[in-house]
């Protein structure tokens, strides 16, 4: 999940290297989840209908729930400051935010292994060596970046208590996922329809208008290409007539 990349997009915080790392991390996470073998519980699950959406209500609930958690954590770590509470220099605070954000994605991979409301996110984990290896690679790369990649990624080294803050705070996304799963699907669907209805009312006409504008632009471009091709053909014919006087006279 990369829901919060825009939150830390300031030039001093997110460099091109950190953005590239986020894309690579997302690709590895997608590969790890895609290689997860099916379990026997799938045989007892009712088949989805032909018109069923690709992203179910349960999946949307987890996406939005984790986005809210990560947004709150990122804003608190970035802006909250007081005597004895995250009173660090700006470069260390940025490094803590970046490190915590990456660890939240690593822990959240385990939450995403289940597409239902059950709690056992470790079921069948021992059978998926790809998931284990890829997560070890992600953890190793993040540790290496934190210790030796400071210059390239515009971060500084963190001490023991700061590492503890990053990992412990990020690990709270696991119990938070239980709270998200306990939230009734019907309530979430009703809230999503109520909140999303104004967005849909604005999005649909804008989408239709942009689609029509795109069609007109494609037609205009195609007609311009056709006119240019006809002009080139006419130019070739005229050049041939100049080279062949008898043909031109005829």
Q: Report whether pLDDT(32) > 70.
A: no
- What mean pLDDT, rounded, does the chain reach? 78
pLDDT of the residue at 219: 79
C-alpha angle with apex 54: 201 to 51, nearest 5 degrees?
80
pLDDT of the residue at 10: 42
5 vs 243, higher pLDDT: 243
Tokens of 128: 């998926």
**Dist. CA 139–CA 134, nearest whole Å:** 9
- pLDDT over 90, % of the chain: 16
170, 103 in Cβ contact below 8 A?
yes
Q: Report whether pLDDT(193) > 70.
A: yes
Q: Report whether pLDDT(4) > 50.
A: no
Q: Which long-range contacts (CB under 8 A, 24 or more apart) does 5-11 make?
A: 7/71, 7/74, 7/75, 7/78, 8/74, 8/78, 8/94, 8/97, 8/98, 8/101
Mean pLDDT of the region 160-174: 92
Cβ burial, residue 216 (10 Å; 0-12/13-18/19+) = exposed
pLDDT of the residue at 179: 93
Q: Report whether pLDDT(26) > 70.
A: no
The DSSP annotation for 83-125 comes to TTBS---HHHHHHHHHHHHHHHHHHHHHHTT-SSS-S-TTTTG
Q: Report whether pLDDT(168) > 60.
A: yes
Radius of gyration of the chain (CA): 27
Structure pTM? Answer: 0.67
């Amino acid at each position: 999940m990369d829901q919060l990349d825009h939150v830390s997009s300031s030039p001093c915080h997110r460099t091109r290297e950190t953005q590239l790392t986020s894309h690579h991390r997302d690709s590895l996470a997608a590969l790890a989840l895609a290689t997860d073998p099916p379990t026997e519980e799938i045989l007892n699950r009712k088949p989805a209908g032909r018109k069923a959406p690709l992203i179910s209500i349960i999946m949307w609930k987890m996406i939005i729930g984790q986005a809210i958690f990560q947004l709150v954590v990122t804003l608190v770590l970035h802006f909250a400051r007081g005597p004895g509470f995250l009173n660090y220099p700006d470069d260390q605070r940025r490094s803590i935010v970046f490190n915590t954000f990456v660890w939240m994605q690593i822990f959240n991979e385990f939450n995403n292994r289940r597409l239902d409301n059950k709690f056992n996110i470790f079921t069948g984990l021992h059978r998926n060596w790809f998931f284990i290896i890829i997560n070890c690679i992600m953890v190793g790369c993040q540790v290496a970046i934190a210790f030796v990649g400071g210059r390239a990624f515009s971060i500084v080294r963190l001490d023991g208590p700061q590492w503890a803050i990053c990992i412990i705070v990020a690990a709270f996304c696991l119990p938070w996922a239980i709270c998200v799963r306990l939230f009734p699907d019907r309530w979430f669907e009703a809230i999503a329809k109520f909140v999303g209805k104004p967005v849909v009312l604005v999005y649909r006409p804008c989408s239709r208008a942009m689609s029509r504008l795109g069609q007109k632009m494609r037609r205009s471009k195609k007609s311009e290409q056709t006119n240019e091709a006809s002009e080139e053909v006419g130019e070739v014919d005229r050049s041939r007539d100049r080279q062949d006087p008898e043909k031109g006279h005829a």
